Chains A and B, each alone.
Chain A
Amino acid sequence: DTGVSQDPRHKITKRGQNVTFRCDPISEHNRLYWYRQTLGQGPEFLTYFQNEAQLEKSRLLSDRFSAERPKGSFSTLEIQRTEQGDSAMYLCASSFKGQGDYEQYFGPGTRLTVT
């Protein structure tokens, strides 16, 4: 399977703890996106990278959130001092800038539960 992969699939943490999620995009894709989806809602854009450069960040991405893509391949999303309101599905997507770069392909997501 050469699709977008995310790890872990599920994470339960206590309020105040830090968590980190990983996303591996489709191998030839140079753009990588993070979205957050809460129950009953559509995904909301958080941030995106082209290669290793973070090109856009949503105002939803508070100071407690940080995303990296150090070598332009996989990406990590860290949430510090988690709050119950951070409970959501965190989705990663990738695309290829160039031909068909408007087609974003999504991973299965990481479901975060903050207790």
Chain B
Amino acid sequence: GEDVEQSLFLSVREGDSSVINCTYTDSSSTYLYWYKQEPGAGLQLLTYIFSNMDMKQDQRLTVLLNKKDKHLSLRIADTQTGDSAIYFCALGGSSASKIIFGSGTRLSIRP
């Protein structure tokens, strides 16, 4: 089945850029997502990219997709304390049914 891998932790200084990486095995995924989960809260859809795109920018967020290497990344510019959360990489197929999630990357911000 589909396997989605993320590093567990990332620590960055406030104001720096954060880059969260994700690798996956199934190249047939049509939609690739980034979700954010804050403590005690549900999952918030941050952004997504279609598999026929290489990059998507949305304000402070930049998503890069390297289909050849099956690598997805999320860059957060000017990281703020409010960005502290767990970030999940996730993949969906063309039928828009289930989404397969990675285990999440916990982002912590240093002053």
Contact = CB atoms under 8 A, between A and B. Distances in A.
A105 interface: yes
Interface stretch (A13-21, A66-74, A75-83, A95-103): A95-103
Interface string A19-41: 00000000000010100000011
Contact of B43 (A44, A91, A97): A91
Interface in B29-48: 30-31, 35, 41-45, 48
A90 to B, nearest CB: 11
Interface string B79-110: 00000000010101000111111111000000
Contact of A106 (B30, B42, B96, B98): B42
A48 B43 contact: no
A104 B101 contact: no
Nearest to B98: A45
Interface residues of A, number: 26
A42 B96 contact: no
Nearest to A98: B96
Contacts of B99: 33, 43, 45, 104
A91 B92 CA distance: 17
B103 A102 contact: no
A98 B31 CA distance: 15
B48 A102 contact: yes
Nearest to A48: B97
Interface of B: 4, 30-31, 35, 41-45, 48, 88, 90, 92, 96-104
Interface of A: 4, 31, 33, 40-45, 48, 55-56, 58, 91, 93, 95, 97, 101-109
